Amino acid sequence: MKVIDLFCGLGGWVQSFPAAWDITGYDIMDFSGRYPGKFIKADLLEYRDFGHADLVVASPPCTDFSKASFPPTWKSVQRYPPNIPLAVKLFERAREIIRQSRPQFWIIENVRGSQKYMGRADMHYGSRYLWTNMALNLPQGSDMYGKWLVSPSPDRPAVRAVIPRSLSVAVRDYIEAGI
């Protein structure tokens, strides 16, 4: 099973995937020391050498979509206004890579606010909205809403973005049942 993990961060999507799967994560930030598979540091708007994959998982950055749903009077929105054109471009790039790599299975995760710009999600798991070609059986895991409990730290954005293990397991189980 060849897996492409786009905007991979710390590798939450692949945390439950079998070691035998050929997994490559791509991110603009360097997570090479912490990513559980092969890692390529790359700007996904520029990088082109993906090839075919059996599974593509993607979590494009969500900060701008989230900020766009906040009241404009919030200081964080005034100080750091959302860059919706870039957020849309990154999400669309994930879709483009999926089309090009022609996987049997694919999933994109983002926040509720992204639906205004990217279309209605196929399903959601807690605060994570999912566009996918898989009919996942999503458990009601205790890790559905845990991202709000992450303590302040330099790694906080990356840690908050980690896909819950129960969601990773649901994807793995769906694929293994269909192989």
DSSP the chain: -EEEEET-TTTTTTTTS-TTSEEEEEESS--TTT-SSEEEE--TTT-------SEEEE----HHHHHHTS-TTSHHHHHS---HHHHHHHHHHHHHHHHHH--SEEEEEE-GGGHHHH---SEEETTEEEEESS-------TTSSGGGGPPPSTTHHHHHTSPPHHHHHHHHHHHHHH-
Digitized pLDDT (tens) for each residue of the chain, 179 residues in all: 999 999 999 999 999 999 999 999 999 999 999 999 999 999 999 999 999 999 999 999 988 787 677 666 766 656 777 788 999 999 999 999 999 999 999 999 999 999 999 999 999 998 899 999 999 988 776 555 555 565 667 666 666 677 888 899 999 999 999 86
Fold of the 2-178 domain: Rossmann fold (3.40.50)
Q: Which of 86, 82, 83, 92 lies closest to 118, judged by CA?
A: 92
**Domain ranges within the chain, ordered by starting residue:** 2-178
- The whole-number pLDDT of residue 145 equals 54
Report the distance separating Cα 1 and Cα 175, nearest Å: 10
The answer to whether the beta carbons of residues 118 and 136 sit under 8 Å apart is no
CA distance 27 to 60: 10
Diameter of the chain measured on Cα atoms = 51
